[in-house]
Amino acid sequence: MKCLMCESFSFTHICHSCQQLFLTPKIYKRRLSNNIEVISFYKYGDIKDLLHTKHTDLGFYIYATLAELSFKKFADEFHFNEPVVSIPIDDNITSGYSHTALINNSLKSQNIKPLFNKLRAKNSLSYSGKSREFRLLNPRDFVLNDFKEELVILVDDIVTTGATLSEAATKLKTQNKEILFCLTLCDVSKK
């Protein structure tokens, strides 16, 4: 097959040279309006074409590659003195897989236990390309399924306005969960 980025022959969808050259993660941080930190690994503009594969069969492989390069490395270096779980935002299966479940699963390590089917949105409207006002007027209306652990890392693929992550954090706090921080593949605000 050909590498999606350089079109050279490759045994993977994105060759190792392109992974090293174009997909080496960096740390980008910002704070949400509720003062929760969001850590992202890429600028949206640098990987937007790859992210647009999300709802295709190819998206599974692209998201798995991005998660391996960023979330997995982060999890391997993350240390904490207490048990920590990671919760994906609305890990419903669409297009054959859940992109948030896939990236969340890559956090499995000695110090992070990924949980699934814990935070589901009742509202399934697409936020893609929508304004902050639209997002605030149409909240996700999350349902939280019970779990015992208290320390949480919230996981999503993209942070745009931060409305979804803020709403999810608020829901978790109603159940006395402490959000350590949020992890996303990319941040739209990072040019």
Report the C-alpha gap between 72 and 128 in whole angstroms.
Answer: 26
Distance set, CA 59 to CA 4, 41, 74, 129, 163 (Å): 12, 18, 21, 19, 24
pLDDT at position 103, please?
A: 97
Residues of the chain with pLDDT > 90, as a percent, come to 76
Q: What mean pLDDT is predicted for residues 16-28?
A: 95
Question: Looking at residue 191, what is its pLDDT?
Answer: 60
For residue 92, the model assigns a pLDDT of 84
Nearest alpha carbon to residue 67 among 37, 39, 99, 92:
99
Q: Residue 8: what residue type?
A: S
Of the candidates 38, 12, 48, the one whose C-alpha atom is nearest the C-alpha of residue 191 is 48
Lowest mean pLDDT among 46-55, 93-102, 122-131, 175-184: 122-131
d(CA 90, CA 105): 14
Say whether pLDDT at 104 is over 70.
Answer: yes
Assess whether pLDDT exceeds 90 at residue 127. no
Please provide the DSSP assignment of 31-43 as one string. Answer: E-TTS-EEEEEEE
Mean confidence (pLDDT) of the chain: 92
Q: Which two tokens stand for residue 161?
A: 């306005």
pLDDT at 64 over 70: yes
Look at residue 84 in the predicted model and tell me its pLDDT.
Answer: 97
If pLDDT is split at 50, 70 and 90, which confidence band does 105 have? Answer: very high
39 vs 189, residue with greater confidence: 39
Residue of 188, 175, 187, 173 whose CA lies nearest to 34: 173
**Domains of the chain: residue spans and CATH:** 24-187 (3.40.50)
Facing residues of 53 across strands? none
DSSP string, 96-108: TB-HHHHHHHTT-
Which of 94, 50, 88 lies closest to 69, judged by CA?
A: 50
Q: What is the pLDDT of residue 7?
A: 92
Q: pLDDT at residue 23 above 70?
A: yes
Q: What is the reported pLDDT for 76?
A: 96
pLDDT value of residue 175:
93
Q: What is the pLDDT of residue 119?
A: 94
With b meaning 16 or more CB within 10 Å and e meaning fewer, what string describes 84-96? bbbbbbbbeeeee
* HSE value, Cβ hemisphere, 13 Å, CA-based, for 37: 8
Does 48 score more than 80 pLDDT?
Answer: yes
